[in-house]
């Protein structure tokens, strides 16, 4: 039977000049789960995602994604293993159309040589249409990405990850700067995405957290402060203390 756990993080620690930004962390993310990571500034949220995607190397501990130990892999191989990460600032090609951005993100088309020899087959075209529909951009396929609204750019970047079919998607503040309707659409999108993959989201907007989170992990000073459903976490005295103290 397939394990319900997709990502198992154990005793994860990273030190920067002796300062532990992530300190002995244990975290388990299930398949089809939306896990939101919250915590005050400097809690270690971004560093945690950096460790998972290989941008930062762990000092100690393990990050097991299915049967693969990610701490032994470089960033590129972590992507290939099925982990996609979206940063806060969109990294789309502004001069290219939505369609071209999606085509270029199709697996193998990401690097320069890959793109030169990359052929847009019917299969690729069909997948682009499917993803464009998922991210509400079916009628913007021929629009230059630079002309999209801020929210649409964020969706396009999510689409550029989805087209690579990751089993784990990590998003850093996906609704920052979005309008109310774009937020609602993003919540619905994340619900849909998590039907067949897991999502880890760093988020500060508590209303949005309530809308999307299956479970919430609260970090404080690099350590796990609390974990559970949003209403449980909200009533946790340690969590209240940390948030009121800021």
Buried b / exposed e over 189-226, threshold 16 CB at 10 Å, is bbeebbeebbbbbbbebeebbebbbbbbbbbbebbbbb
Question: What is the distance, to the nearest Å, from the Cα of residue 139 to the centroid of all Cα atoms in its chain?
Answer: 25
45 touching ligand ADP, by CB under 6 A:
yes
The partner residues of 30 in beta bridges, in order of sequence, read 5
Taking CB under 6 A as the criterion, the residue among 3, 4, 11, 16 binding ligand ADP is: 16
Residue the block writes with tokens 């394990």: 3
Closest separation between CB of residue 17 and ligand ADP, Å? 7
CB 226 within 8 A of CB 46: no
* Shorter beta-carbon distance to ligand ADP: residue 75 or 139: 75
44 touching ligand ADP, by CB under 6 A:
yes
226 touching ligand ADP, by CB under 6 A:
no
Written as six digits, the tokens of 230 are 């949003």
43 touching ligand ADP, by CB under 6 A:
yes
- The backbone torsions φ and ψ at residue 169, rounded to the nearest 5 degrees and listed phi first, read -120, 130
181 touching ligand ADP, by CB under 6 A:
no
CB 225 within 8 A of CB 194: no
Taking CB under 6 A as the criterion, the residue among 6, 25, 33, 46 binding ligand ADP is: 46
209 touching ligand ADP, by CB under 6 A:
no
**Three-state DSSP state, 233:** helix
Taking CB under 6 A as the criterion, the residue among 9, 27, 29, 39 binding ligand ADP is: 39
Stretch that binds ligand ADP, among 45-53, 105-113, 125-133, 226-234 (CB under 6 A): 45-53
Closest separation between CB of residue 121 and ligand ADP, Å? 40
Distance in angstroms (rounded) separating the CA atoms of residues 50 and 89: 15
Q: Which residues bind ligand ADP (CB under 6 A)?
A: 16, 21, 39, 41-47
């Amino acid at each position: 039977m397939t394990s319900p756990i997709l990502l198992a993080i154990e005793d994860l620690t990273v030190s920067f000049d002796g300062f532990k930004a992530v300190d002995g962390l244990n975290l388990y993310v299930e398949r089809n789960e939306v896990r939101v990571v919250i915590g005050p500034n400097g809690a270690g949220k971004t560093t945690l995602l950096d460790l998972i995607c290989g941008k930062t190397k762990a000092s100690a501990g393990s990050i097991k994604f299915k049967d693969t130990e990610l701490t032994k892999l470089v960033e590129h191989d972590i992507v290939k293993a099925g982990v996609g990460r979206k940063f806060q600032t969109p990294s789309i090609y502004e001069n290219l159309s939505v369609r071209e951005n999606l085509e270029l993100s199709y697996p193998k088309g990401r690097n320069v040589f890959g793109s030169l020899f990359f052929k847009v087959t019917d299969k690729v075209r069909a997948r682009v249409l499917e993803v464009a529909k998922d991210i509400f951009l079916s009628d913007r396929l021929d629009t230059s990405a630079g002309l999209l609204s801020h929210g649409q750019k964020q969706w396009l970047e999510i689409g550029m990850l989805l087209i690579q079919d990751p089993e784990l998607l990590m998003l850093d503040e996906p609704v920052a700067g979005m309008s109310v309707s774009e937020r609602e659409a993003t919540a619905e999108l994340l619900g849909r995405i998590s039907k067949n993959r897991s999502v880890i989201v760093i988020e500060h907007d508590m209303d949005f957290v309530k809308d999307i989170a299956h479970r919430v992990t609260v970090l404080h000073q690099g350590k796990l402060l609390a974990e559970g459903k949003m209403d449980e976490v909200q009533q946790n005295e340690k969590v209240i203390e940390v948030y009121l103290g800021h």
